[in-house]
Structure 1
Amino acid sequence: MPESTPFHDLAAFIALPRVSSLALSPDGTRLVTAVQELSSDRTRFIGALWEVDPSGERPARRLTRSGRGESAPGFLPDGTLLFLSSRPAADPGEGADDKQEAALWSLPAEGGEASQLLVRAGGIDGYATATAAARIALAAGLLPGAADAEQDERLREARRKAKVSAILHESVPVRYWDHDLGPAVPHVFGVPDAGAEPSVMVDCGARRIGGSGHIAVSPDGSLIAYTAALGTLPDEIRDAVVVVDAATGKQLRVLEAPDAEFGAAAFTPDSRHLVCVRERRITWDSPGDVTLWLADATDDQDPGRDLLPAFEQWPGAPVVSPVPGEDGTPVVWFTADEGGHAPVFRLSTGSGDIVRLTTSGAYSDVVASPDGATLYALRSAVDSPPAPVRLDAAASGQEPVTLPSPGQPAALPGSLTEVHTTAEDGTALRAWLVLPQDARPDTPAPLLLWVHGGPQTSWNAWHWRWSPWVAAAAGYAVLLPDPALSTGYGQHMHERGWAHWGGASYQDVLALTDAALRRDDLDGERTAMMGGSYGGYMANWIATHTDRFKAIVTHASLWNMYSFAQVTDFPAYWMRRQGDPLENTERYERESPHLRAANITTPMLVIHGDKDYRVPIGEGLALWNDLARFEVPAKFLYFPDEGHWITKPNNIRLWYATVLGFLAHHVLGEQWQRPDLV
């Protein structure tokens, strides 16, 4: 009998602890992470902060506990631990304990009770601290017409009493992923020290929602940098890095370009320069590319320079060493997708030398010790959930030291291997293949092809929401391909799929499927396909172009490219790639699955959330209605209160249960059983 694991029981799977984010104390002795676990009634996830021993000798210990949870750990120079929480204050004012707005809390370095440090009407969206000064920068909203926090609070209370929910927009965008923008306008505020009153906060400027909205404070506390969206016309809007004087809020420079986006800025140790991500904007002809950029923090005449001119992969947010390299220039660490992994790289900005520090796995949340000799990060992989690890900051080819923490890897219901083949144009292709425990030549497993979203991303890390191991526990082999447009295979991989989303990517997916099915432990007569977002688009494209699969599951998927281009949360981005549908319909006509609806014969499960603003619900409804019109066997799983991702625990359970039930009916020949509660 196959070994029983938490993945065989959806309730046990959802109850597994989920580790995210890392913060290291200024003296390097305390490492704090956030861990999400199920609430006692099993209806929501609650975050708590845990301290992890950087040496790996002591077990992790829990630091916080509340009904509302905690997130975003950070430190002040004196070792005080900061975090965000909407928990009520110890002595709340009238009605304050009913509010669900996040405030900034502090926990003394020597221990004791947490106390509310900074609070604003409307909540605090994020914060950053300096390493050598008590300066804090906050991201929070101001209602139109509010000149300060007090006026903002009065306006909010007036709206609440009048039961007004309306939002008047005078510029785009109006939505972002799964939430409405406004009526408050995001601002960045400088706080001179941790004990300052809200009245002394300095408004450092407004920022439209762009990419990350990232905030950074220079080590000496004199400067604040944040990501803002510039431009007025829709196609002009782009992310830029704004640098301001932390004491006065005066704008000192804007790092921007008409053909590029800038973000995720980090200051160098001398507080005089910035390292940030520079992304060349997409166009009709180009999928864009990403590099790291070094620029003077305050000199607007310095255009900056490319730090990775010959690096083939796309780097993530930079982490700058607290101390310069031997040549006196900054040392930077970053992660980048590469061949089904996401290693940590070390860059010497003076020489341009790059060292790949890790051999396998996907890394995130990298933090550096005060002396720049040690790194800590979260490491995950397709077969391993995120866990804190320790790395030498300079050595190549390392295997990390895993630190004791909650959420250690559970037993898996199978094993992981790779599939390789070659595309028609000669490009090398690869995929991960998850094999269930009992897959053998005498008992070949059914195959589930699972295409990732993006499309410019990769199957290289652990996924709670897209877990192949739940399917493996049900007996399926799961193929996780990285086709054209995937990250981690160089710029050519993006370019070969850019002109036709249903072209090279579709051919790559099928080529990898064919390669996998050459194995004698897989059953080529029992196959299914699924995907979400771009993977959902590919599901729809496959459904309209082949009947080789027994069933297809499509989640948050693009169906009618014409309608999608006008109602997604930022149409201008889409039209840069796809073209203006009033002037150029070439790609719409070539790529839109809805024009081929009559070709579908494969049974389909359509899944969509009503709060999905990236791929709005109209796409799912149109597909569902077309399937009904052409009498295709289909079901529609609808979530009125979910967005692009399904995030509520019991909705997650029902998502997996419905998917597995649908596949069991059409692929395994079992009788359809409607999941409980739907």
Structure 2
Amino acid sequence: MTTPFSDLDQYTALPRVDGIAVSPDGSRVALTVSVLDADGTGYRRSIWAVPGSEDDVTATPVRLTRSTKGEGDVAFTRAGDLLFVSGRPDGEGDKDTDAPQLWVLPAAGGEARPVTRLTGGVGGVLGTASAADTVAITAGLLPGAGTDRTGVIAADAELRGRRKDRKVQAILHETYPVRFWDHDLGPDETHVLTLDLGSLSEAETTRPATRDVGDAAAAKHSYPSHLPVLTDLTPAPARSLEHVDGVVTPDGSVVVATVAVQEARGSRSTIVAFDVASGARTVLFDEDDVDHEMPTISHDGRTIAWVRTPRFTPAGATEQEIWVATLDGSGVSGARRIANDWDRWPNELVFAHGDGALLATADQDGRAPVFRLPVDGGAVEQLTHDDWAYSSLRVAEASGAVVALRASWAAPLHPVRIATDGTAIPLATPAPVPDVPGRLEEVETTAADGSRVRGWLVLPDGDGPHPLLLWIHGGPLNSWNQWSWRWNPQLAAARGYAVLLPDPALSTGYGLDFINRGWNAWGQAPFTDLMAITDAVVARDDVDETRTAAMGGSFGGYMANWVAGHTDRFRAIVTHASLWALDQFNGTTDMSQYWQSIFDQDGLHENDPHRFVADITSPMLVIHGDKDYRVPIGEGLRLWSELAEHHAAADGTMPHRFLYFPDENHWVLKPQHAAVWYETVFAFLEQHVRGGEWKRPELLG
């Protein structure tokens, strides 16, 4: 009998919760759920509603949306209406475009309707006001569209039409960088726009373009007058809002957002307040060599909280400090640091009901608990004390109900309600948590320098001894603390492997000193930590020391490369999206300035894995996507070339293989490509770890 973890077709078809929002009164929770489309080549997201009360855990989820384009980026208005972003056709706009727009689904019932009609589409919902109808969104606008706060919309539509008619895709860059993760930046620039939902009307008329572009063009690019007027808060932003985060004050009068300040090839993050009515901007927090990020505002609008982080250098990482200040309109006063003794990095911040404390999640000891941070500077309290990793904290404005998503290596993301005592009660979900084949054990050892090194061990059924896969996480500032659909050890457990998921030096959740043990020295403490905990695990009776392999992606791929050049203990190495030649990587990645700022020249040279290519003895499976801009394809190409240079036989044959995805990025996300990824990895491991025959995956031709 097959299961979703023994059969990749069943696995890719499992529904997946990936977003959550809560209504102001806490009675309704909206979930975004991704499911495989009809032909199995992509995922389609829809929105579901479940009760927010723990009394309705067994209630039947209600599907709210259904379209071929899917929906996401959900948020509630003050009236309880549901906002979302979708590229679904609206029946009235341009039939030749699928640009995503902002939609609203009334709480009282009825069909969803579009709120915007931007030619270039909406990026996402930045924030909504809890006591007004103001909504802030992000959208890309062409720099040549000008700086008129309302006229820029029609001008952008005109320019986009001209580029489309002439089939021009060229982009002129004036600052660094030019791309990010998996996409090119430009030709448009991210702006923050606001609108008043209260002005949405039923009549379908058009508002003429606000600049003289000729009668025909004005008619073509007019904006529907029944839709709310969009006002640009950020004229001529350049690249300052590419990673914008922000919040709207309860009365809707001010938008507070992170704004990047360009610094040669890099930037620093500042926090800026924008007056919605006038467009005036006030810089709230800005310091050289410091990033100010993650702004959040109290429910009464009187307090702002944010994260202040002094810039990392080759000397080490720094603390992520939690600060609060009094907010008065667009001004602040009384800034002070809280949670001074809390040695963790927050993943998110929200104000608790009553505004006396912040709620945060942070990596800790292989989990990600919820913490309570008193605004008065009192001691930080850990609210949840279980093995889960929590994320996406949402607090209902009126009731104070707290909902979140949680996951672990035993279960994917699912919604819960968190009581004041930290008890988490599962909510109804349209994506039931599947039964998994592997059981979790926590393992640890002591490194050579006396540091505790821990991890999770996923064990299959049976007494063993089981072949062992060492999986090395990416980041490197990361932790193996929750479910991943792309790197899922339960798939390996279903095939009889034990999987070790360790957190070596540089991992988060163990304090700053633990991170800095591996700083500017990736090939030292991280490597010895990995070997030490592997030694401890293979000493178990249920693990087979003679049948082991090491795998990793991104930084984990870097470590897999380093492991390959420094030990022959593993029968196979899988290296995905891996850093191979640091001198080359640092000039071609999408974030050159960052990587060069955290290494000095000695650190780059001493920890460069390509220098040890001649020492590699384990067969390697190299995997890379051509659209990976964080770790560019040149890393995989050079690794493959140098493996051939040093290890190919006279006839060109090698024990190594290169799985190449021309249209994939850092993660390999398309469902069938992900299946091919797993099929190839398991075939490679079957050959080299278990001594079976190599079986080429069918869809590789």
Same fold (TM over 0.5): yes
Whether the 8 Å CA contact 1:420–1:512 is kept in 2: the answer is yes
User: What's the CA shift for 1:252?
Assistant: 2.0
- 2:178/2:590 contact within 8 Å kept: yes
SS, match of residue 102 in structure 2: strand
For 1:488-637, what aligned pairs fall within 5 Å after superposition?
A: 488-579=509-600, 585-631=601-647, 632-637=654-659
Aligned to 2:680: 658
Residue 199 of structure 1: how far off its partner (Å)? 7.7
Q: 1:217-228, aligned counterparts within 5 Å? A: 217-228=248-259
**Correspondent of 1:166 among 167, 170, 183:** 170
Give the Cα–Cα distance (whole angstroms) in 2 for the partners of residues 387 and 209 of structure 1.
Answer: 34
TM-superposed deviation, 1:7: 0.4
Change (3 A) 1:335 1:450: same
The Cα shift of 1:272 comes to: 3.3
Q: Quick check: 307-316 or 450-459, which moved more?
A: 307-316
Which of these residues, 421, 426, 429, is aligned with residue 405 of structure 1? Answer: 429
Matches of 1:616 and 1:359, distance apart in 2: 40
SS in 2 for 1:653: helix
How big is the shift at 1:126?
1.3
Specify which of 385, 392, 395 is matched with residue 359 of structure 1: 385
CA shift for structure 1 position 228? 1.7
1:246 aligns with 2:276: yes
Query: Aligned match of 2:97 in 93, 96, 99?
Result: 99
Query: How far apart, CA to CA, are the structure 2 residues paired with 1:108 and 1:21?
Result: 19
Match of 1:45 among 43, 58, 62: 43
Compute the displacement of 1:263 (Å): 1.8
Q: What is the one-letter code of the residue matched to 2:184?
A: D
Letter in 1 for 2:121: G
Query: Which of 268, 283, 291 is residue 313 of structure 2 equivalent to?
Result: 283
Match of 1:146 in 2: 145
CA change 1:97–1:472 in 2 (3 A) is farther
Could you say which residue in structure 2 is the equivalent of 1:293?
Answer: 323
Change (3 A) 1:24 1:207: farther
Structure 1: which amino acid aligns with 2:114? Answer: Q
Paired residue type of 2:391: S
Give the C-alpha shift of residue 212 in structure 1: 4.1
Check 1:209–1:17 CA distance in 2 against 1; reply closer, same or farther (3 A cut). Answer: farther
Kindly indicate whether the alpha-carbon contact (under 8 Å) linking 2:197 and 2:228 is maintained by their aligned counterparts in 1. no
Deviation at 1:291, TM superposition (A): 2.6
Superposed CA deviations along residues 473-500 of structure 1, whole A, max 9, x for unmatched, are 1111000000000000011111111030
The Cα shift of 1:300 comes to 6.1
Query: Over aligned residue pairs, what C-alpha RMSD do you find?
Result: 1.6
Residue 395 of structure 1: CA displacement?
1.6
**Are the aligned partners of 1:69 and 1:86 in contact in 2 as well (CA < 8 Å)?**
yes
| Cα distance in structure 1, aligned partners of 2:25 and 2:467 | 53
Residue identity in the other structure for 1:166: A
Work out the CA distance in 1 between the residues paired with 2:85 and 2:332: 37
**How far apart, in 2, do the equivalents of 1:530 and 1:593 lie?**
15
Name the structure 2 match of 1:344: 370
Distance 2:337 2:479 in 1: 24
CA-CA distance at 1:277 after TM superposition: 2.2
Q: Which runs of 5+ in 1 are unaligned?
A: 326-330, 580-584
Check conservation: 1:5, 1:410, Cα contact below 8 A.
no
CA deviations 1:302-333 (Å, max 9, x no partner) are 483222211011112211135333xxxxx210
Of 447, 454, 461 in structure 2, the residue corresponding to residue 437 of structure 1 is 461
The letter of the residue matching 2:172 is L
Number of the residue aligned with 1:417: 441
Q: For residues 102 and 198 of structure 2, what CA distance do their matches in structure 1 show?
A: 10
Q: What is the TM-score when the length of structure 1 is the normalising length?
A: 0.94
- Within 5 Å, give how 1:8-19 maps onto structure 2: 8-19=6-17
Residues 518-545 of structure 1 show CA distances to partners (whole Å, capped at 9, x for unaligned) of 1101000000000000000000000010
Deviates more, 1:167-176 or 1:194-203: 194-203
Change (3 A) 1:445 1:424: same
1:352 deviation in Å? 2.1
**Corresponding residue to 2:229 among 183, 200, 208:** 200
One-letter amino acid of the structure 1 residue matched with residue 699 of structure 2: L
The answer (yes or no) to whether the contact 1:277–1:317 under 8 Å persists in 2 is: no
Cα pair 1:4 1:413 within 8 Å, conserved: no
More displaced 10-residue stretch of structure 1: 316-325 or 501-510: 316-325
Q: Which residue of 2 aligns with 1:134?
A: 133
CA contact (8 A) 2:274 2:330 kept: no
Quickly say closer, same or farther: Cα 1:264–1:194, change in 2 above 3 A: farther
SS at structure 1 position matched to 2:491 = helix
Kindly indicate whether the alpha-carbon contact (under 8 Å) linking 1:226 and 1:243 is maintained by their aligned counterparts in 2.
Answer: yes
Q: Distance in 2 between matches of 1:249 and 1:505?
A: 49
Q: What amino acid does structure 1 have at the position aligned with 2:154?
A: E
User: 1-side partners of 2:278 and 2:509: how far apart?
Assistant: 42
Report how many aligned residue pairs link the two structures: 656
Structure-2 separation of matches of 1:596 and 1:496:
23
Aligned CA distance change for structure 1 residues 316 and 386 (closer, same or farther; 3 Å): same
Residue 68 of structure 2 is matched in structure 1 by 67
The letter of the residue matching 1:92 is E
Return closer, same or farther for 1:212/1:305 CA change in 2, 3 Å cut-off.
farther
Identity %: 45
Q: Which amino acid aligns with 2:603?
A: R
Deviation at 1:98, TM superposition (A): 3.4
Query: Does structure 1 conserve the Cα–Cα contact (< 8 Å) formed by 2:42 and 2:671?
Result: yes
- Conservation of the 8 A alpha-carbon contact between 2:361 and 2:390: yes
The SS at the match of 1:508 is: helix
Q: Distance in 2 between matches of 1:211 and 1:604?
A: 37
2:239 alignment partner AA: R
Q: Which amino acid aligns with 2:92?
A: P
- Deviation at 1:192? 2.9
1:299 CA drift (Å):
6.5
Report how far residue 194 of structure 1 moved: 4.8
Q: Secondary structure at the match of 1:6?
A: coil
1:68–1:87: 8 Å Cα contact kept in structure 2? Answer: yes
CA contact (8 A) 1:551 1:667 kept: yes
Whether contact under 8 Å (1:202, 1:248) holds in the other structure is no
